[in-house]
Homo-oligomer: A and B are copies of this chain.
């Protein structure tokens, strides 16, 4: 792709620099030119900073996103008949929703073809978690992915490099130039990957709190609105929830540990916020695209877990991806286990007032569960089970965590990090809600609708 004749990328930068809107065609030429290597990194970096400081309008964000999608191939998933649900989380600690949601939604008659990412920094990644299951592959070719979803109802795979190549390049550039924390740029990054895949409903889990990128529900809501607005603009249906990440969502932080917890939840053997949120997303999906009453949908989801049917669906998914299906029967026996297990006990009476969830995520990453840089190796077995929830327990000398480590010194260090991440108190504590709110896209069908706008 060569730049259009007479097109000067500096005109795009100058407009954004001066707080003006960039015409759609120019913005498109700029982004496609960048993806093709005709607009150099330093030119794109100046644009990103101008956009960071002066903002992007809704129309500009939509055009940026569309151009990012058009920088690569798409995955229409046209051969799948069942309602297709895509789901994305902005990242958190002990955020195993996808592991539970995908087989659960499949069991409810929906199709989930999920392209996932790897963990970075204090947040985990679904691919890393699934790959702790012996034999399991996530490098599915598009045809393979589609065939598996037709047969099993769900599949979780890594994103191909040909899908939205501009996103990877822009993200690396933003990371290097202090331009990550911009709502329109984040929304464009998230939604470009969702718009590139065919789906009937996009569900977004925008995390807010100490373990999330967005530290407050208000800031998360801004991103949620921006994402669903983008979906509307391109005629796609989306629902975004702002959910609590002021503490770990489940009780496991670490790859094999999180798979084991997901198995227990899918078998109906465990309760808690991770189950609640997985059910909430399944309910939302079934209500939105299945035409099912909300309460009926919720009952169906609860039943699929309690009956063990969702776990059987997970077994089929694992088997289809080459993994050892016995992990559903005996997760502790099949999944890799860390050599050292060390209990952590509370240091005094009281209730848990706040947790620094990011610090817990970093503690698990230090054990080897996560990576500081893209491409670092991880250890699937290590991690932290963190048991108390805000407003309840954690006091006295009860066991509050179990550190799974490669050796004693790293276990010792992690135990200290766990204790340092807690704030205890004596007074009653307001328990944060699990879901702060839902935001929906408005989709206008008919002339001027999806096909025309695209």
Chain A interface (Cβ < 8 Å from any Cβ of B): 10-11, 13-14, 17, 40-46, 48-50, 52-54, 173, 176-179
Contact = CB atoms under 8 A, between A and B. Distances in A.
A177 B52 contact: no
A177 B17 CA distance: 10
B178 A52 contact: no
Contact of A42 (B10, B14, B17, B176): B176
A17 B14 CA distance: 17
A66 to B, nearest CB: 24
Given A10-B178, A49-B53, 19 more contacts: A10-B176, A13-B178, A17-B49, A17-B53, A17-B178, A17-B179, A40-B41, A40-B42, A41-B45, A42-B45, A42-B176, A42-B177, A43-B45, A43-B176, A45-B45, A45-B49, A46-B48, A46-B178, A50-B53
Number of copies: 2
Contacts of A177: 10, 13, 42-43, 45-46
A45 B13 CA distance: 11
Contact of A46 (B11, B40, B45, B54): B45
Contacts of A50: 49, 53
A176 B17 contact: no
A52 B17 contact: yes
16 contacts: A11-B178, A13-B178, A14-B178, A17-B49, A17-B52, A40-B176, A41-B42, A42-B173, A43-B176, A43-B177, A45-B46, A46-B48, A46-B178, A49-B49, A49-B50, A53-B53
Nearest to A14: B178
Contacts of A42: 40-42, 44-45, 173, 176-177
Contacts of A45: 41-43, 45-46, 49, 177
A152 to B, nearest CB: 43
Nearest to A177: B46
A45 B44 CA distance: 9
Contacts of A43: 45, 176-177
A287 to B, nearest CB: 42
A43 B44 CA distance: 11
A354 B140 CA distance: 70
Nearest to A46: B177
A45 B9 CA distance: 14
Closest 8 CB pairs of A and B: A46-B177, A49-B49, A42-B45, A41-B42, A13-B178, A14-B178, A45-B45, A10-B178
A13 to B, nearest CB: 4
A13 B13 CA distance: 18
A13 B43 CA distance: 16
A45 B53 CA distance: 14
A216 to B, nearest CB: 17
